[in-house]
Amino acid sequence: MVPQTSASVVVALLMGLVGVWFVLWQLRHVLSYDTGNKTMQTIAAAIQEGASAFLSREYRVIAIFVAIVAVVITTFLQWQTALCFVIGAVASAGAGYLGMYVAVRANVRTAAAASRGLHEGLRVAFGSGAIMGMSVVSFSLIGMTVLYLIFKGDPNHLTYITGFGFGASSIALFARVGGGIYTKAADVGADLVGKVEKGIPEDDPRNPAVIADNVGDNVGDVAGMGADLFESYSGSIIAAATLGAALGGKSAAAFIGLPFLVAAVGVISSLFGIYKVIGKAADVTVATPEASASLQARAMYYLNRQVAKIDENASLDDLLKALRDSVWGASAVVLVLSLFCVIASGVHFNYWLVILVGLIAGNGIAYTTEYFTAYTEKPTQAIAKATQTGAATTIIQGLAVGMMSTVAPVLITAFAILGSIWLGHAADGTMAAGLYAVALAGVGMLSTLGVTLATDAYGPVADNAGGIAEMSGLPKEVRHRTDALDSLGNTTAATGKGFAIGSAVLTALALLAAYVTAAKIESLNILGPTMLPGILIGAMMPYLFSALTMMAVGKAAHEIVLEVRRQFHEIPGLMEGTGTPDYKTCVGISTESALREMILPGALAVVVPIVVGHVLGKEALAGLLVGTMSSGFLLAVMMANAGGAWDNAKKLIETGEYGGKGSDSHKAAVVGDTVGDPFKDTSGPALNILIKLMTIVSLVFANSFGSGWLSF
């Protein structure tokens, strides 16, 4: 088993190293761009300082948690699992930090590039997002493959590597919750006082919370999202490999190695998708493929034809098409290359169809999310129309849109699960093969993560660029360009969240199957005395978790509002533009609040599965995971999409619809956006991490659970 599997793992390791090479090259490229005038550089430096300070303090708090859990794992399980846990945490934190490092430097460069044109601004911002996407993929692949090769002689090597996923999940939850509380507290506080009470524009330098708001975009939507999808990506591969080993037989090595191979070809595919956006036509001098006999020149000609062409009059639809083509192009490439992986592995052809199912499901969820959140579509336009009758109808319509948006992702995911199980069962004749197929579909869905995360992570950079353009007094056309990129980022961010949530369900189901196998559960009886209580407790968990995170944002925002009001009242000339706001105090309030409030939600995700497993038993814990997965999926989609739609309804009004900026409709839209902020950037996206973290904690501790203290 080891040689064939090891070959697949080595290929994945090499592609991870290729990804790191691209990250270093692209980092140098992005940092080579112009940083604009001195005012722009000063504002960018303040954002960099705040983001670095928060992330450093957050990681110090998380390090304590990681150390405690590592000791617990070493004491009650194995030191190998504890080592993998620590490495998973470090790799996830490293990817998040690198993504944020470049984001807070690319924002000012994007603003300067937008002065030269819309496409230039898109290339810089998307290029920084590509660094985040490829860092996540590369660090994950390198970490898992190196650990696999180190422990491959041990029969429990895959059990140890589940610790890597546990470490990644822990970082993801704290980074997502902490960053989400920070960014939305600052954003809500800045909007309520600045836009609603004082009537000043967004990103106005007179607003004391504006720097904290810009910092929050990076620590929440770049570092937080990066850690989130690092965990999804790692978890999907671990789940597939674990279930592949459980299948046994002569093909076990191929089943273990296949998800690593699919992830490896995903790196190549993602690089192609990234090139479609950031490639530069001017680099190619060959007019036609026949103009030169050079194979390299012909290849560059065909690559050049794939590059998106964006002009100054590009609409949101044009920009969306450019990014959509990028993701779809990467999906097509990974599909073709995966066919060779399946053939080389010697497994049934049906498993290639399973990968196709995962890719279709991922792109389907992305498309439906885009439909419900883009302001070019009817759902968001209906919210904008509702603003004419006030904030209440705006919120009602937004909630309705969010609830309606759950239908398509649920049906797509349900059919993906059914299709995968049927294909796997038809290939090898067992339900275990069907569950392996579900995990492989999750790997297929996430195989293009390098480019799909780039389309998400670039959004905060564009948002920051708009703020820098506003605060430094750049010409209006620059702000128009950054606003266009920001609106695109809102939609792609919502798409990324939907993508993450959908993949979380497939990954969590596969991890649940691995847990049932590891815990030696022979059957699950829904009428059993502990099963239904477990399901109900699990269904309650996402609501408790969301309540805690929403209240955390509310508390922190309350402090920010009071501080901003105090400064406007006490600092002479602040409203007139002659006074100097105290940005650092607001940054400090957001930092302290986020670090304080993230502890309880994060601890619950780890503690509750362990308590339920020991008190009610391993069957009840399976029920808990089913309940959490079901209600968490629906609640996460609803919150993420409602928040994105509220935000873009406001953006639509700001283009001049229904009275434009400053109108009563705009004020109602701002209230809706303020409600939607913690929906889409704190509670909603953190739920998919909750689902997977609770499942992987259960898998790691599976052997310690028995019938339960309260068993009948």
DSSP string, 98-125: HHHHHHHHHHHHHHHHHTT-HHHHHHHH
pLDDT on residue 49: 80
**Residue 610 above 80 pLDDT?**
yes
d(CA 188, CA 197): 12
Q: What share of the chain is helix, strand, coil (3-state, %, to 5)?
A: 85, 0, 15
Model confidence band, residue 3 (pLDDT cutoffs 50, 70, 90): very low
Percent of the chain at pLDDT > 90 equals: 18
Lowest mean per-residue pLDDT among 39-48, 132-141, 192-201, 306-315: 306-315
Model confidence band, residue 268 (pLDDT cutoffs 50, 70, 90): very high
Model confidence band, residue 291 (pLDDT cutoffs 50, 70, 90): very low
pLDDT on residue 316: 59
- For the chain, what is the mean pLDDT? 82
Contact 420, 412 (CB under 8 A): no
Q: What average pLDDT does this structure show over 101-112?
A: 87
Question: Is 273 buried (19+), middle (13-18) or exposed (0-12) by CB count in 10 A?
Answer: buried
- DSSP secondary-structure letter at 158? H
d(CA 189, CA 196): 10
d(CA 26, CA 133): 12
Lowest mean per-residue pLDDT among 97-101, 341-345, 413-417, 704-708: 704-708
**Residue 707 above 80 pLDDT?**
no
Residue showing tokens 């477990």: 534
Lowest mean per-residue pLDDT among 408-412, 532-536, 594-598: 594-598
**Residue 388 above 90 pLDDT?**
yes
**Residue 15 above 50 pLDDT?**
yes
pLDDT on residue 286: 42
Q: What average pLDDT does this structure show over 110-138?
A: 85
Q: What average pLDDT does this structure show over 453-471?
A: 81
- Per DSSP, the residues of 500-554 read HHHHHHHHHHHHHHHHHHHTT-----TTSTTHHHHHHHHHHHHHHHHHHHHHHHH
Q: Give per-residue pLDDT as tens, 29-65.
A: 888 888 878 888 888 888 888 778 777 878 888 888 8
Q: What average pLDDT does this structure show over 72-101?
A: 88
Model confidence band, residue 712 (pLDDT cutoffs 50, 70, 90): low
pTM (2 d.p.): 0.83
pLDDT on residue 478: 80
pLDDT on residue 392: 93
pLDDT on residue 526: 79
Model confidence band, residue 5 (pLDDT cutoffs 50, 70, 90): low
Q: What average pLDDT does this structure show over 158-173?
A: 82
Model confidence band, residue 684 (pLDDT cutoffs 50, 70, 90): confident
Percent of the chain at pLDDT > 70 equals: 90
Q: Give per-residue pLDDT as tens, 537-590.
A: 999 999 998 898 888 888 888 888 888 888 888 888 878 777 777 877 887 887
pLDDT on residue 313: 56
Lowest mean per-residue pLDDT among 70-74, 186-190, 310-314: 310-314
pLDDT on residue 290: 52
d(CA 191, CA 209): 9
Max mean pLDDT range (53-62, 419-428, 595-604): 419-428
